[in-house]
Structure 1
Amino acid sequence: MFGRLRAWKRRHSLLVDTLALVPLAPIALFSVLASGLPAERGASEISAGGVLLLSAALMIPLVWRRKYPVAVFAIVALVSFVQWTTHTITLPINIVVLVAMYGVAARRPLKWAIAAAVVTEFGLFLAMVRNSGDIVTAWPTSSVFVMAIWVTGIYVNMRQRYVESLLERAERAEHERDQQARIAAAAERTRIARELHDVVAHNVSVMVVQADGAGYAIDTDPEQARRAVQAVSSTGRQALAEMRRLVGVLRDDRTSAGEYAPQPGLRQLTDLVEQVRASGLPVEFTVSGSPQAVPEGEQLVIYRIIQEALTNTLKHGGPGVRARVLMEYGSSDVTLTVTDDGRGASAVRAEDGHGLIGMRERVSMYGGTVRAAPHLGGGFQVTARLPVGQTA
């Protein structure tokens, strides 16, 4: 309700400011009645029509006091000064000078507020010179009332600026929060894309190789074809299980870790190598150095790098290719070297752009490096170094 009211006031600000002047109407009426009273010392009388014109000249500019407070104060002060120079009596409606001064103090910087207060005090002094014989007592007393209104305007100004700063900070915080959410969403999409690429590319490549083998052997070696089809079925189930895990995580953030299979790590490397061997690619897997504790996140990186390198060998190595995987534990890092003796530089590796980019992104997250290039003497080699422990 209050929000609608504020929105209506913003749309009809001129009407609201005009209606706010209604309380000044009785003062203008009292000024008309006061025009028939005896004139002040040294002042000239003014007719009722003149009072109406003077009241209009003083009140009408106040309609725009919110939008142009300095200009409105200048007009009201100038009209009042002309009134004083023409020896016209001071009227109750002259109080609008204080309203205009309050508008400057409440809506403009301090220097304008001080200037408005000085002009008002000067006008008050001129009025006191003409209207009061005891200016030493009357002027300070009236100045207290003027200063009270001025201080109130200054307080309202400070309050408004404080509220505006709070709103600005809230908007900035909301913008930063939305920006952080977009960055987090982009990072999550990249992570999911890497996972999907690794899962789909590896398992589908194995299935394609096995299906091709089954097609070649179905007439000459039915048993071999049967084993190949079983390997296709097993690999497909594994791919579905990993896809189910990924989709489940995406579908419900509250899903407990026990509902889906954990991320693969170093313990699953043997199963990975056996799966690749079963697809027809001879793989030699060697571990050297003293094994040390590796965080789960880095275990996943190691697994995915070996998986992607062997998948690329399956896809591009050509017939009769062999692969060698060497995992070396250092004092503060783990080095992976995956080498094949396939077509190497002659193979079109550009198709693996997403896989190689995924490798670099995974390794860079832990401050490691990766290099993928044709191997001297033929074949292709992927070398990755991953810091572990405190170094990472």
Structure 2
Amino acid sequence: MTVKKVAERLRRHPQVVDLLWTLPLLAYALLVMRHSPEPKIHLLLIFGLLTPLVWRRRWPRAVFTVVALVSFAQWLAGMAPQVANMAVLIALYTIATRSRLPWALAAAGVCVFGFSLVTFDGDQSVRDSLSAMATMTVFIVATLVFGVYLGTRRAYLQSLEERALQSEQERDTQVRMAMAAERARIARELHDVIAHNVSVMVVQADGAAYAIDTDVDRAKNALETISATGRLALGEMRRLLGVLRESDDTGAYTPQPGVEQLDDLVEQVRDAGLPLDFTVEGEPKELPQGLQLSVFRIVQEALTNTLKHAGPGASARVRLRYDNGAVEIHVQDDGRGTAMAENDGKGHGLAGMRERAALYGGTVRAEPVPGGGFEVAARLPAGEAGR
């Protein structure tokens, strides 16, 4: 295992790192304690000062408070300072690196006050006390400044990393937007290709039908033109659709759902907890695949919004009716009556259904039901208009 990997693992476990840093100080404090007249009390004091340092990065202010209170209790008990009292400076450094400046200044003030209690409580002269106090104040200020500097530098480096990440995300977003714009252009080009070639094929087919009894050669040429145009259109469609599918990882070649999959959709909704009644009226007709997809998506969107907005205890019914060259869809629930709001802030369900219906010359009506509930009614032509 490389040093870099070890550093990364230790970075994920800061308490382990703090424990490793505390162990040498603990060992030295225990070594010095051998000459103490009251080893049990000093052992308790050492662990009371050093043990909280294991959690200093997680709770810096709480650890400093605990260490300061233990040191104050030590002074009240008349015990002399020990090596373990270095924990106060370590806790001060942690606050300076990980807390705001007012907290760091307050902690430094507590350190100065605590050391002044120890300094002027002894038998030494005022001059020696002031000299010791000045020396310790320098140490405290140096610890404070060094901690604040490292904390500021760490915050600066973190901001640089966040900016770099944000710039990378913005760059990826711009790339995706450019790809989406290009795909939209290709889709428009695909529409033009299909429209042009289909128009040519329709004209040639009409001419062949007109001349098949009077001019066989002319009809034959027209059919050959239809064949060649169809092959050209298919080639263009394959090429353009291949470009559109390059970044599509969601099963581009999976068959699209149709009317036959409505039973599966109904079962899924029932499994989700919504009581649902599904009926089909009239004689089912053979519908174009695109029209079947629109029927499926309209029912799916209506039921999805029912699940989202109808509320607990609601039920729904779906009716699919074949009548007069059209397919009628009726989805109604007895919920709170807001299942198909124009815009819930998260999607465009109603607008999407209207676009799908308009693509085949159909209409969609969505409105609350008197007395509670919501209904969606759609009618899609299934004859020539729907093709």
TM tier, smaller = 0.5 to 0.7
1:149 to 2:150 alignment: no
Contact in 2 for aligned 1:34/1:91 (Cα 8 Å): no
Equivalents in 2 of 1:14, 1:249: separation in Å? 52
Equivalent residue of 1:23, what SS? helix
- The corresponding residue for 1:5 is 6
Equivalent residue of 2:79, what SS? coil
Pairing 1:42-191 to 2, within 5 Å after superposition: 47-131=38-122, 132-133=124-125, 134-191=128-185
1:202 to 2:193 alignment: no
- The corresponding residue for 1:14 is 15
State which drifts further: 189-198 or 235-244.
235-244
Deviation at 1:11, TM superposition (A): 4.4
Unmatched 5+ stretches in structure 1: 37-46, 253-348, 354-392
Equivalents in 2 of 1:56, 1:74: separation in Å? 15
Cα displacement string for residues 123-150 of structure 1 (whole angstroms, at most 9, x for unaligned residues): 1222211244222222112221222222
Equivalent residue of 1:18, what SS? helix
Where in structure 1 do 4 or more consecutive aligned residues deviate above 6 Å?
A: 247-252
Unmatched 5+ stretches in structure 2: 247-356, 362-387
Deviation at 1:239, TM superposition (A): 4.1
Cα displacement string for residues 56-108 of structure 1 (whole angstroms, at most 9, x for unaligned residues): 11011111101001000011011111111221111122111101111111111
> What one-letter code is carried by the residue in structure 2 that aligns with 1:96?
A
> What one-letter code is carried by the residue in structure 1 that aligns with 2:56?
R
Cα displacement string for residues 14-60 of structure 1 (whole angstroms, at most 9, x for unaligned residues): 33322221111233124414535xxxxxxxxxx11111010011011
Contact in 2 for aligned 1:106/1:153 (Cα 8 Å): yes
Contact in 2 for aligned 1:30/1:92 (Cα 8 Å): no
> What one-letter code is carried by the residue in structure 1 that aligns with 2:121?
R
Pairing 1:282-361 to 2, within 5 Å after superposition: 351=359
Equivalents in 2 of 1:182, 1:161: separation in Å? 31
Q: TM-score, normalised by structure 2?
A: 0.57
Equivalents in 2 of 1:242, 1:65: separation in Å? 67
Sequence identity percentage: 51
Equivalents in 1 of 2:85, 2:358: separation in Å? 85
Equivalents in 2 of 1:350, 1:167: separation in Å? 49
Deviation at 1:238, TM superposition (A): 5.5
State which drifts further: 104-113 or 201-210.
201-210
Contact in 2 for aligned 1:32/1:51 (Cα 8 Å): yes
Equivalents in 1 of 2:241, 2:180: separation in Å? 17
Equivalents in 1 of 2:3, 2:184: separation in Å? 44
Give the root-mean-square deviation of aligned CA atoms. 2.9
- The corresponding residue for 1:382 is none
Contact in 2 for aligned 1:84/1:127 (Cα 8 Å): yes
Equivalents in 1 of 2:205, 2:4: separation in Å? 67
Contact in 1 for aligned 2:49/2:70 (Cα 8 Å): yes
> What one-letter code is carried by the residue in structure 2 that aligns with 1:115?
A
Equivalent residue of 2:112, what SS? helix
Equivalent residue of 1:90, what SS? coil
Equivalents in 2 of 1:157, 1:83: separation in Å? 31
> What one-letter code is carried by the residue in structure 1 that aligns with 2:182?
E
Equivalents in 2 of 1:220, 1:152: separation in Å? 102
State which drifts further: 13-22 or 115-124.
13-22
> What one-letter code is carried by the residue in structure 2 that aligns with 1:171?
L
> What one-letter code is carried by the residue in structure 1 that aligns with 2:173?
Q
- The corresponding residue for 1:28 is 29
Counterparts in 2 of 1:180 and 1:10: CA distance versus 1, 3 Å: same
Aligned residues: 247
**Structure having greater relative contact order (Cα 8 Å, sep ≥ 6):** 1
Equivalents in 2 of 1:238, 1:93: separation in Å? 86
Contact in 2 for aligned 1:73/1:101 (Cα 8 Å): yes
- The corresponding residue for 1:306 is none
Counterparts in 2 of 1:48 and 1:251: CA distance versus 1, 3 Å: closer
Equivalents in 2 of 1:240, 1:85: separation in Å? 93
Equivalent residue of 2:120, what SS? helix
Counterparts in 2 of 1:351 and 1:89: CA distance versus 1, 3 Å: closer
- The corresponding residue for 1:311 is none
Equivalents in 1 of 2:115, 2:139: separation in Å? 11
> What one-letter code is carried by the residue in structure 1 that aligns with 2:26?
A
Equivalents in 2 of 1:177, 1:89: separation in Å? 62
Equivalents in 2 of 1:69, 1:240: separation in Å? 69
> What one-letter code is carried by the residue in structure 2 that aligns with 1:193?
A
Deviation at 1:251, TM superposition (A): 10
> What one-letter code is carried by the residue in structure 1 that aligns with 2:6?
L
- The corresponding residue for 1:213 is 207
Deviation at 1:214, TM superposition (A): 1.3
Equivalent residue of 1:137, what SS? helix
State which drifts further: 123-132 or 155-164.
123-132
